[in-house]
A and B are shown apart, each in its own frame.
Chain A
Amino acid sequence: MIEFDVSTTAEGIGVVVPRGRLNMVSARQLKERLDELVSAGTTRIVVDMAETTFLDSSGLGALIAGLKAARQAGGDLRVARPTEAVMTVFRLTNLDKVLRPRDDVEGAFGA
């Protein structure tokens, strides 16, 4: 089971908060949320993973797809506050270097 909070900051940054497990089912939903944001012109996106308790390869695929879509539209996607379970998956797949998790949501697009 998962819920997604989607909001936009005053600076126009989209913040997506997946609460629960990101697996094959919820990865599709995440990809749709990210696509919707980029299509609507919100190309700077932070995925706040502080409440993501599980991540599998399909969840990773959705993050990479979102990253590519955001960059193609001139923006970027950043990951903030990954849980230890999420960080383990990033390290095992060498994606920690690509997704470069940030310590907080507010500073994810900071200087």
Chain B
Amino acid sequence: MPDPTPSEERLELSAPATPEMLDLVHEVLQRLWVARPDVGEPDRVRFEMAVIEVLGNIVEHAYELERPGGERRFDVSLCAGGDDLVATFGDNGVPAALDLSDVTMPGEDAESGRGLALTAAVVDDLAYERVGDRNHWRLVCHRHDG
């Protein structure tokens, strides 16, 4: 008999931290949903939004201090389990100067600065840590489709 609650599905990717890689991560997410058709559409939307915003943040930081000879890379792990959708990111960019406890939505005519506020609004947990010369991010969306 097939297991009615499949074990977690995890997909990983390591790539240069360039904006073009965002589309690749969208594609990896598509593969994750094919492997886990039980994840509901609203949860997919929330998770994809948060993953792309955090990645956008990483890519922007990688661009800020382009240093010759040192390639900026990120790795991402996307995991769909029975209760949670979890994404972890690592990158060798500059340290992110931010306070996750004080993320606010900017005014309505702002053209930037909404990324982390949007992420904070859709995730159940968001953590950032600088370890050595690497940034580590972890975000969790509890599934509401059960």
Name A's B-contacting residues (CB within 8 A).
1, 21, 23-25, 54, 56-58, 60-62, 64-65, 68, 84-85, 88-89, 92-95, 97-98
**B25 (CB) vs chain A CBs: closest residue:** A23
Q: A21-B23, A94-B105, A98-B108 are in contact. Are A88 and B45 (CB under 8 A)?
A: yes
**Contact status A56-B49, CB under 8 Å:** yes
Q: In B45-100, which residues have CB < 8 Å from any A CB?
A: 45, 48-49, 52-53, 56, 59-60
**Contact status A57-B23, CB under 8 Å:** no
**Contact status A61-B114, CB under 8 Å:** yes
Q: A56-B53, A89-B118, A92-B121 are in contact. Are A61 and B112 (CB under 8 A)?
A: yes
Most buried by A among B113, B114, B115: B114
Q: Which residues of chain A are within 8 angstroms of B10 by Cβ–Cβ distance? A: none
CA distance A73 to B23 in the complex (A): 34
Q: Is B122 an interface residue (CB 8 A)?
A: yes
CA distance A25 to B122 in the complex (A): 22
**A1 (CB) vs chain B CBs: closest residue:** B23
**Contact status B23-A23, CB under 8 Å:** yes
Q: Which residues of chain A are within 8 angstroms of B118 by Cβ–Cβ distance? A: 56-57, 89, 92-93
